[in-house]
Amino acid sequence: MLENLRKTVSEANQELYRSGLIRLSWGSVSGIDRKRNLIAITPDDLSYESLTPNDLVIIDMSGKVIQGKHEASRDAFTHIELYKNFPEIGGVTHTHSVYATIFAQANREIPIYGTMHCDYFADTISVTPKHQLEENNEHHTTMAGKDIIKTVAAETVMKTPGILIHGDGPITWGEDPIISVKNAKAMEAIAEIAFGTCILNIAPNC
Ligand SMILES: [Zn+2]
């Protein structure tokens, strides 16, 4: 089922693994077939290194597993909220890449400090509203998805294709899964440079 989508999402997962943005099995990539309203997503707690297209889990828009020998990623409900609300989105990537996660945990948005930021994200990269942190279960990931929807404007969703989930990490999207991974890599590079910029701004004479 959905062989082409499985292949693309698997390639996107491998690209994410090669990028070094993933530690352990933290994170997830998905893609959607809009005609069938089915999503192929990273399985929960499986090593990226050995992931094959057949390991991906096919879920519907309610999160129900339609096909797969593993559990779907626990982030699935966050991905679903994005697909439900923004029909332009074809792929979603969530990571805990270090510098972007530092901003997410510190509840700090990433302002535009330079041209590289503008090349990928037209505006400030926002943080979702602050919540009591709880176990990363279905409720938590559904809440994260709903917070993203409240924070992202429909008119600019594809111009600023990512956000920081408070206390968690970055999530990016794109027209397809490969572009969503590219945006994850861009966000991490921008966060790293912004982090250094913030430090030098605090201590301008060092
Ligand atoms: Zn997360």
- Domains of the chain, by residue range, sit at 3-202
Over residues 71-100, the pLDDT tens digits come to: 999 999 999 999 999 999 999 999 999 999
Q: What is the DSSP letter of 56?
A: S
Give the model's pLDDT for residue 23. 80
Residue 136 has pLDDT above 60, yes or no: no
Over residues 164-202, the pLDDT tens digits come to: 999 999 999 999 999 999 999 999 999 999 999 999 988
Model confidence band, residue 25 (pLDDT cutoffs 50, 70, 90): confident
Q: Which residues surround ligand 1, an ion (CB under 5 A)?
A: 168-169
Residue 138 has pLDDT above 80, yes or no: no
Q: Determine the distance separating the centroid of ligand 1 and the alpha carbon of 107, expressed in angstroms.
A: 15
Model confidence band, residue 204 (pLDDT cutoffs 50, 70, 90): confident
Full-model pTM: 0.93
Residue 137 has pLDDT above 90, yes or no: no
Distant-in-sequence, close-in-space partners of 94: CB < 8 Å, separation ≥ 6? 27, 28, 29, 75, 78, 79, 165, 169, 170, 171, 172
CA-nearest of 63, 83, 79, 62 to 71 is: 63
Which residues are registered as beta bridge partners of 158? none
Give the model's pLDDT for residue 163. 97
Taking a C-beta distance cutoff of 8 angstroms, is the pair 185, 21 a contact? yes
Question: Which CATH code of 3.40.225.10, 1.25.40.10, 3.40.630.30, 3.30.70.100 fits the domain covering 3-202?
Answer: 3.40.225.10
Q: Which is more confidently placed, 99 or 141?
A: 99
Q: Determine the distance separating the centroid of ligand 1 and the alpha carbon of 163, expressed in angstroms.
A: 12
